[in-house]
Amino acid sequence: MTASESELYDLAVVGAGSAGLAGAVTASELGLSVALLDASAQTGGQFYRHPAPVVGAVRPEALHHDWSAYADLRRRLAESDVRHLPGHHVWSVMKDEEGGDVWAVHAVTGADGDGERPVRVQARAVLLATGAYERQLPFPGWTLPGVVGAGGAQAMLKSGLVLPGRRIVVAGSGPLLLAVASSLAAAGARVPVVVEASGYLQYARHPRALVTNPQKAVEALVHGTALLWHRVRVRPRSAVTEVHGTDRVEAVTVTRLDRDWRPVQGSGRRIECDALVVGHGLVPQIELATALGCATRPLPDGTSALALDGLQETTVRGLWAAGETGGVGGAQLAGAEGELAGVAAAARLLGRPAHGGRVRELQRRRDRMRSFADVMAATHAPGSGWPCWLTDDTDVCRCEEVTAGTIRESVEDLGARDARTVKLFTRAGMGWCQGRMCGPAVACLAARDGAADLPAERRPFAVPLPLAALAALDSPVVHQHEGRAAETETQSEPGALPPADG
Amino acid sequence: MARTPAELVGAQPDPPFEITFDGRRITARPGQSVAAALWGAGILAWRTTRGEGRPRGVFCGIGQCFDCLATINAQPNRRACLVPARPGDVITTQEGHGHDRLRV
């Protein structure tokens, strides 16, 4: 079957979290045919991640904030004609050569992208709602088993109902730490301390953003009360600067930081624990858009997000984005932006202007929540002194095991000035994760002063895929509007990953 | 107060089943990923690094970091945090890049 024989969707939505769900159901309710692609088996994204139906959880909301918002989106999805395509890992979005103004969304399928059928979905417009992943800053011992990302621990708890240990220290920076600590404690873990590298007083410098976002204060109060209830202490202006243990975490050293996040000599305290949960905020996941040339904007925390207009359209016509791809701001903001993008895409494709009370109200809500997101990002931006946590033998790149000493050598002796040049000299960022885990840290080390704006990452393949999926591009499977999938001649090799020297 | 995550959400799951990790039998619950089943058995590491042979397990938990690669039913390089556990799965520690059989 060739592409020309297949029907087109009006809108392809990539990502079924808050933003993607809101965009998909809104566009569908306004009359568009919509395909919703997501890597997971279930909708909800990372924020509303929850156990599979076979777990029979009667209180899934116990691990969530604002579950009713998700329940509402899920009900609207079930009542809609949206074609939900779970287990679809989108690796590229491109203009279809054959179709003029038609986008082709390419995906590999299966739990781990190892399915036998590569898939191409065609649509007249695309909404990217791919969310974010966690920013990590390295420190001695962070590769030891038992050290887990804060978002990762939350994800494993929400969907797998498991904990990495019984006594868990939570550390890093940002409000996610409070949410993670309270859910770990509610689920039975002992959390002796939350270690926050920034201070919370900086929020007070932006009274307008606080006053106009009272729901954020309520969230903080809810988490604060939960932490008090579980007797979890919060230590601001401190960091875990060392992990102890040989095969797994046995204890950590918590050290006070100065204003620039340099450790205060002699202030280290050892805290016994069997797991450490760490994270320094989130990085927008925008590879699909940057590969198409979409413009980006720097965020107050040094990461890059997509540059969007008042109706959520990227700088590439016909390509919209919502949620964390435009800057990290939480599930409520993502929902408002997704709805706005759905309205805008429907207006464009149906030949109507996008204005009116609903659009203005959504824009007001979005702008209000964005202003709080900017305050949050600025408050928790890594201080320039954090590289002082590193010893020369601390691994910075986890995949290629490149140490801080090797990276410093490439900067000081070989003249590297950016992450790309460091990568060429040292292989940092050249492994399986393609720099997703070490990129922010390497960029800071290359900038020498410890704080660098992250360049917008360009990864032509947004997820790993077997070479057979590329070979299959000549005769790809097309997901049709009415739901039939054509057979393909090609078979991918299950479990094959791209070579680690990309 | 809930003492386990399953108690907290009031889980009433289908019956558990067995998988093996390096020959050791462990119990998995329906709906868990391979990584979650291993965590449930107190196992945090199931891979050694290519360079230094250091132990690794789940780090990012959402399929981004590739630290959790495991050999699942003789297939190396599977992201254990994404692959659902199935009855009778054979999980083995992945040494290095997982393709030792190709070494000449």
Tens of pLDDT along B8-25?
999 988 899 999 999 999
Q: How many CA atoms lie within 13 A of A376 on its CB side?
A: 22
Give the tokens for residue A317. Answer: 């016509």
Nearest in space to A251 (alpha carbons), one of A180, A170, A367, A169: A169
Using DSSP bridges, classify how beta strands A103-109 and A193-196 pair: parallel, antiparallel or unpaired. Answer: unpaired
ipTM: 0.96
Question: What pLDDT does A477 receive?
Answer: 57
Question: What does the pLDDT average to over A181-205?
Answer: 93
How far, in Å, CA of A476 to CA of A481, rounded?
16
| A157-171, A241-255, A473-487, B45-59, range with the lowest pLDDT | A473-487
Q: Is B100 exposed, middle or buried (0-12, 13-18, 19+ CB in 10 A)?
A: exposed
CB contact under 8 A, A151 and B60: yes
**How confident is the prediction for chain B on average, in pLDDT?**
93
Is the confidence at residue A1, as pLDDT, over 60?
A: no
CB contact under 8 A, A431 and B66: yes
Determine contact, residues A371/A212, Cβ cutoff 8 Å. yes
Question: What pLDDT does A211 receive?
Answer: 86
Question: What pLDDT does B101 receive?
Answer: 67
Structure-derived torsion over alpha carbons of residues A135, A140, A143, A144, reported in degrees to the nearest 10: -130
**How confident is the prediction for chain A on average, in pLDDT?**
90
Query: Rg (Cα) of chain B, in Å, rounded?
Result: 14
Helical axes A214-229 vs A176-186, angle rounded to 10°: 40
For A104, other C-beta atoms within 10 Å of its C-beta total 22
How far, in Å, CA of A255 to CA of A235, rounded?
10
C-alpha angle A425/A431/A434, rounded to 5°?
95
Please report, as a single letter, which amino acid is at residue A326: G
**Band (A96; pLDDT cuts 50, 70, 90):** confident
Question: What pLDDT does A450 receive?
Answer: 67
Is the confidence at residue A137, as pLDDT, over 80?
A: yes
Nearest-neighbour CA in chain A from B25: distance (Å):
18
| A47-56, A205-214, A318-327, A416-425, range with the lowest pLDDT | A205-214
Question: What pLDDT does A470 receive?
Answer: 85
What pTM value is reported for the model?
A: 0.93
**Band (A358; pLDDT cuts 50, 70, 90):** very high
Sign of CA dihedral B94, B95, B98, B103: negative
Sign of CA dihedral A374, A375, A379, A380: negative
A435-449 confidence digits (pLDDT tens): 999 999 999 999 877
How far, in Å, CA of A262 to CA of A384, rounded?
8
State which residue of chain B sits closest to A158, comparing Cα positions. B5
Structure-derived torsion over alpha carbons of residues A314, A320, A323, A328, reported in degrees to the nearest 10: -10
A194-218 confidence digits (pLDDT tens): 999 998 888 888 888 888 888 888 8
Question: What pLDDT does A489 receive?
Answer: 33
- The DSSP result for A37-90, as a single string, is E-SSSSSSTTTT----GGG-BS-GGGG-SSHHHHHHHHHHHHHS--EEETTEEE
Write out residues 24-43 of B within 8 Å (CB-CB) of A: 29-33, 35-37, 39-40
DSSP A223: H
**Band (A497; pLDDT cuts 50, 70, 90):** very low
Question: What does the pLDDT average to over A473-493?
Answer: 47
Question: What pLDDT does A50 receive?
Answer: 94
B49-88 confidence digits (pLDDT tens): 999 999 999 999 999 999 999 999 999 999 999 999 999 9
Percent of chain A with pLDDT over 90: 76
Burial A205-219 (b: 16+ CB within 10 A, else e): ebeebbeebeebeeb
Residue B70 contacts A, CB cutoff 8 Å: no
A464-475 confidence digits (pLDDT tens): 888 888 887 765
Of B11, B49, B81, the CB nearest to A57: B11
How far, in Å, CA of B4 to CA of B2, rounded?
6
Of B35, B49, B77, the CB nearest to A495: B77
Is the confidence at residue A483, as pLDDT, over 70?
A: no
Question: What does the pLDDT average to over A178-196?
Answer: 96
Write out residues 148-187 of A within 8 Å (CB-CB) of B: 148-149, 151-157, 159-164, 186-187
Write out residues 52-81 of A within 8 Å (CB-CB) of B: 52-60, 62-63
How far, in Å, CA of B79 to CA of B67, rounded?
8
Residue B90 contacts A, CB cutoff 8 Å: no
Structure-derived torsion over alpha carbons of residues A268, A272, A274, A278, reported in degrees to the nearest 10: -30
Query: Please, which residues bridge with residue A271 across strands?
Result: A252
Give the CA distances from residue A104 to residues A97, A304, A485, B13, in Å, rounded to whole numbers and listed in that order.
9, 25, 15, 40
Residue numbers in A near B71 (CB within 8 A):
none
Question: What does the pLDDT average to over A349-364?
Answer: 94
Q: A1 or A363: whose pLDDT is higher?
A: A363
**Band (A379; pLDDT cuts 50, 70, 90):** very high
How far, in Å, CA of B89 to CA of B25, rounded?
10
Q: Which residues contact A167 (CB under 8 A, 6 or more apart)?
A: A189, A190, A191, A192, A272, A273, A274, A275
Question: What pLDDT does B14 receive?
Answer: 86
Residue among B4, B7, B9, B33 with most chain A CBs within 10 A, to mutate: B9
